[in-house]
Amino acid sequence: MTQFEILGSTDPFLKVHFSQGESIFAEGGAMAAMDDVIDLTGRARGGMLKSIARAAVTGESFFMQEATAERGPGSMLLAPGYPGEVRVLELDSDSWSLTDGAFLCADHDLEIATRRNKSISASFFGGTGGFFIMTVSGTGKLAVSAIGAIQEMAVPPDGELVVDSGHVVAWPSTLEMKASLTTKQGSGLLGKVVGSVKTGEGVVLRFRGNGRVLVSSRAQPAFIGWLSSRLPGKG
């Protein structure tokens, strides 16, 4: 099986080591450098219709990069599309849900799909793919990336882990997830909207169950807004 190696701590590369014949799937445009024994092709992962759905509802590329070591062992460097940390998850017959743009690459045998978001509130207000969420399942390695640093947060026993939706990176699909407009319980829709404006928290996601959630130090919407405000002609 391919080996994943993170090079560096700030804005790292992900180095993938291949034996001959091994393959991975990576987000479109992630390849930075590779040995000439590796062939890189664009492929609609899961077929045309599934790829259209994934691109439309999760913000990921329509075509993924399929890298295969055709002519011998070799390695390649992958780089996320934005500054931040990379984490490698070891899946063992399980499934993880990913927020928009978090997918970097995965072992070839892992199944990449989209599933319907069962939380109606999260579908309308959350930043995790709307009515559909990207999932990766099976046995193998999955690499995710985020703006800023990534921290693992355990869901407390018999309680909830509350995370601002813009900071969520990935979570086990076994966790129960729902969304609300503030961290306050039972304040009513108007109270939640007012509270959200006052605190600047936006939408929060509530996780229940046994597991951990990957949380980023930078919220994607806030980071994009900060960059936009500093472009020529802005501010």
**pLDDT tens over the chain, length 235 residues:** 899 999 987 789 999 999 999 999 999 889 999 999 999 998 765 444 444 444 444 444 547 899 999 999 999 999 998 889 999 999 999 999 998 889 999 999 999 887 766 554 444 444 444 446 789 999 999 999 999 999 999 999 999 999 988 899 999 999 998 877 765 554 444 444 444 434 445 678 899 999 999 999 988 777 777 778 888 875 5
The encoded tokens of residue 93 equal 């017959």
Sorted by where each starts, the structural domains of the chain and their CATH numbers stand as 3-229 (3.60.160.10)
Separation between Cα atoms, residue 110 and residue 105, nearest integer Å: 10
How crowded is the C-beta side of 30, counted as CA atoms within 13 Å?
34
Separation between Cα atoms, residue 12 and residue 77, nearest integer Å: 10
Q: Which residues pair with 171 in a beta bridge?
A: 97
CA 8 from chain centre, in angstroms, equals: 20
Separation between Cα atoms, residue 229 and residue 227, nearest integer Å: 5
Within 10 angstroms of residue 186's Cβ, the number of other Cβ atoms is 7
Transcribe 37-93 into DSSP letters: TEEEEEE-TT-HHHHHHHHHHH---SSEEEEEE-SS-EEEEE--SSSEEEEEEEEEE
Angle subtended at Cα 113 by Cα 155 and Cα 115, rounded to the nearest 5 degrees: 60
Cα–Cα separations (whole angstroms), residue 84 to 8, 25, 69, 124, 180: 11, 20, 28, 27, 27
pTM over the 0.85 mark: no
Separation between Cα atoms, residue 212 and residue 91, nearest integer Å: 14
Q: Which amino acid is at 146?
A: A
Provide CB contacts within 8 A for 191, sequence distance 6+.
Answer: 182, 184
